[in-house]
A and B are shown apart, each in its own frame.
Chain A
Amino acid sequence: MLCYGAFVLYPLGQSIQYSFYNWDGIGTATPAGLGNWRAIFTQPELLSSIVHAFMLIIFYTVIPVGLGLVAASLIRELRPGLFSTAARTILFVPQVLPLVAAGVAWTWMYSSGGTVNQVLSDIGLGRWTRAWLGDFTFALPAVGVIGVWVMLGFCTLLLVSGIGKIDPSLYEAALLDGAGRMQQFRAVTLPGLRQELVVCTTFTVIAALASFDVIQVSTQGGPGYQTMVPGVEIYRLTFLDQRLGQASALAVFLTALVLLVIWPIQRLGRRK
């Protein structure tokens, strides 16, 4: 408890305090009023980092949960055996690896001589090859795909177990009523997975908004500011630019943002 107070709550309070000052970490701090807070909305690179964080939700949350639902309903239809175990295990592996390693692996995949371009050339789409992470248009989606890669297994696993708890007689009843695969999915699977979907969404949204490791390793926010996210921006403001007040304002804003986004999701889960 004491540790939690000393290393989480107290610094959070300090962050709030810092956010109203200009401080380079060495000299004396001068009051900045609301300047640092206003900057979040007026300085394009700060604002865009927040926008990027929200765009990452598409890749960290929407796509993995969607694909996870597909994978989970397909795995449900399999007889328990080697293939279903292998599918679950292999899909989950990226989740347990250090995110740094994910960044290294995908930096290599995306490099100009890497696997992604190789596959594109092999299937005759040679003109689509590019240095993905250095491309102004495609860098953010490319980083997003890394998020899909990391999150897919977690979502699938959780949803598979959720489906396992749904009463099989519901599926039989639906089948007797002549429901097809899609109708079964909509009428039985989705409502039965409410709790699991909330957990998946909560976890992945936090990961998206607070992403740091993957981006720091693969693009460091570049090219330009195309993949800049709040986590990396806070790090840069503090340790490269020595603008602690600005970093703190962004940090507090990010925390508030996460709470604000998570709260309705949690509410949705509790309502029955």
Chain B
Amino acid sequence: MSSTATSRGDRVTRTAVLLAMMVFAIVPLLSMFTAALAPQGSTPPGFSWPAHPHWGNFAAAWSAANLLPLFRSSVLIVFGVVPVSVAMATVAGYALAQFRVPAGKIIYALLVAGLTIPFESLITPLYYDLQGFGLLGSQLAVILPLIGLFMPFGVFWMRAHFLSTETALTEAGKLDGASDWQIFRRIHFPLARPAISALCILLFLATWNQYLLPLVFIDDPAKRTVAGGLGAFQGQYGTNTALLCAGSLLIIAPSLLVFLVFQRSFVKALLQGAIR
């Protein structure tokens, strides 16, 4: 191992550099946490543990930011977006990887190009389209475009997975007289489960953290995603640092929780997917 060749001084520098980076990553969050415990309306003194932590700020932020309807709305949007996107991406990815789809190459090229389209480029026409459909202001105004916007990534992800599975399995299934649907259902779907669950987590985070679309398409802050609602909350309580920080932490919590719980499988799947 190379570590035997490194001197003690080297090891100290190494640890110090890594620790410095970890501090850089974590301090803004800790700083937000201590600020959230400061008395409301006061100017918290930078990064310091308050003498009398005001845990009540979290409860106050919960009701001031109207977080209950926001969480409900976010969950609704997530359930509207994630299952449909994942199902469509799985089927489309499977088709593009395993069958000779007419114009498959063109469809795939269009999707890959779609990976690079910034969301902002589409909000202007989408706004007026949605207005035309009479959907503006409802959660559907966020759900439908998000499904569309997630398609390139979803299909790309699932196609990459299905390309890596053994075609020999398909052949074996055919020899046993299984139909195309049975081959998918019995062989490829179970094998794809890790890729599918990773996609679910990624799309959950992307939806939950979505800010631009809800901000633009839903006037009523209570119908947005929590991240979108935070924008309105910031406008209202921008000067009340303690409350704002407490509210932000409450909004961060679910993303953080999902990441920490699924950390291992998530990171593994992410790395496999990204490199293909």
Residues of A within 8 A of B (CB): 1, 3-12, 14-15, 18, 25, 67, 70-71, 74-75, 77-79, 83, 86-94, 96-102, 104-106, 108-109, 111, 113-115, 117-119, 149, 152-153, 157-158, 161-162, 171, 175, 181, 184, 195-196, 199, 206, 209-210, 212-213, 216-217, 230-231, 234-235, 238-239, 244, 247-248, 251-252, 254-255, 258-259, 262
A122 to chain B: closest residue by CB: B46
Task: Number of B interface residues at 8 Å Cβ cutoff, please give it.
Answer: 84
A71 to chain B: closest residue by CB: B21
Residues of A within 8 A of B230 (CB): 98, 100-101, 104
If A196-B275, A213-B211 touch, whether A258 touches B148 (CB-CB below 8 Å) is: no
Contact A115 B18 (CB under 8 A): no
Contact A101 B6 (CB under 8 A): no
A184 to B271, CA, bound (A): 24
For the complex of A and B, the 9 pairs showing the least CB-CB separation, nearest first, are A7-B148, A118-B46, A210-B118, A14-B125, A98-B209, A251-B121, A98-B227, A11-B125, A4-B151
Contact A234 B123 (CB under 8 A): yes
If A3-B88, A251-B121 touch, whether A87 touches B18 (CB-CB below 8 Å) is: yes
Mask for B106-148, Cβ within 8 A of A = 1, else 0? 0100110110111111111111110000000000000011011
Q: Is B175 an interface residue (CB 8 A)?
A: no
A238 to B216, CA, bound (A): 10
Contact B129 A117 (CB under 8 A): no
Contact A251 B122 (CB under 8 A): yes
Contact A115 B117 (CB under 8 A): no
A216 to B232, CA, bound (A): 12
Contact A71 B46 (CB under 8 A): no
Contact B248 A104 (CB under 8 A): yes
Contact B256 A217 (CB under 8 A): no
What would 9 more interface pairs be, CB under 8 Å, given A98-B251, A199-B275?
A11-B126, A15-B122, A77-B3, A78-B3, A96-B258, A105-B248, A108-B241, A158-B271, A239-B216
The 23 sampled A-B contact pairs (Cβ below 8 Å) are A1-B88, A4-B111, A4-B152, A5-B148, A77-B6, A83-B18, A93-B26, A93-B29, A94-B28, A96-B255, A104-B245, A105-B248, A109-B27, A157-B267, A161-B275, A184-B2, A212-B211, A213-B211, A230-B118, A235-B216, A238-B123, A238-B127, A258-B117
B275 to chain A: closest residue by CB: A195
A29 to B151, CA, bound (A): 32
If A77-B2, A87-B22, A213-B212 touch, whether A100 touches B125 (CB-CB below 8 Å) is: no
CB within 8 Å of A: which B98-112 residues = 107, 110-111
Q: How many A-B residue pairs have CB under 8 A?
A: 255
Residues of B within 8 A of A209 (CB): 118
Among the interface residues B25, B44, B248, which one has the most CB atoms of the partner chain A within 10 A?
A: B25
A111, A118, A206: which contacts B116 (Cβ < 8 A)?
Answer: A206
Q: Is B92 an interface residue (CB 8 A)?
A: yes
Residues of B within 8 A of A15 (CB): 121-122, 124-125
Residues of B within 8 A of A212 (CB): 119-120, 211-212
CB within 8 Å of A: which B154-175 residues = none
Contact A255 B121 (CB under 8 A): yes
Contact B25 A11 (CB under 8 A): no
Shortest C-beta distance, B46 to chain A (Å), equals: 3
Residues of B within 8 A of A (CB): 2-3, 5-6, 10, 14-15, 17-18, 21-22, 24-29, 31-32, 35, 43-48, 88, 92, 107, 110-111, 113-114, 116-129, 144-145, 147-149, 151-152, 205, 208-209, 211-212, 215-216, 226-228, 230-231, 234, 241, 244-245, 248, 251-252, 255-256, 258-260, 263, 267, 270-271, 274-275
* Main secondary structure on A side of the interface with B: helix
A25 to B117, CA, bound (A): 23
Contact A90 B144 (CB under 8 A): no
Contact B18 A75 (CB under 8 A): yes
Residues of B within 8 A of A111 (CB): 241
A109 to B241, CA, bound (A): 11
Contact B118 A255 (CB under 8 A): yes
Among the interface residues A12, A96, A254, A259, which one has the most CB atoms of the partner chain B within 10 A?
A: A96
Contact A216 B120 (CB under 8 A): no
A40 to B50, CA, bound (A): 49
Among the interface residues A105, A111, A199, A210, which one has the most CB atoms of the partner chain B within 10 A?
A: A105
Residues of A within 8 A of B228 (CB): 100
Residues of A within 8 A of B35 (CB): 108
Contact A149 B28 (CB under 8 A): yes
Contact B151 A1 (CB under 8 A): yes
A214 to B242, CA, bound (A): 20
Among the interface residues A92, A93, A109, which one has the most CB atoms of the partner chain B within 10 A?
A: A93
A203 to chain B: closest residue by CB: B274
If A7-B145, A104-B230, A108-B241 touch, whether A114 touches B25 (CB-CB below 8 Å) is: no
Residues of A within 8 A of B123 (CB): 234-235, 238
A15 to B117, CA, bound (A): 12
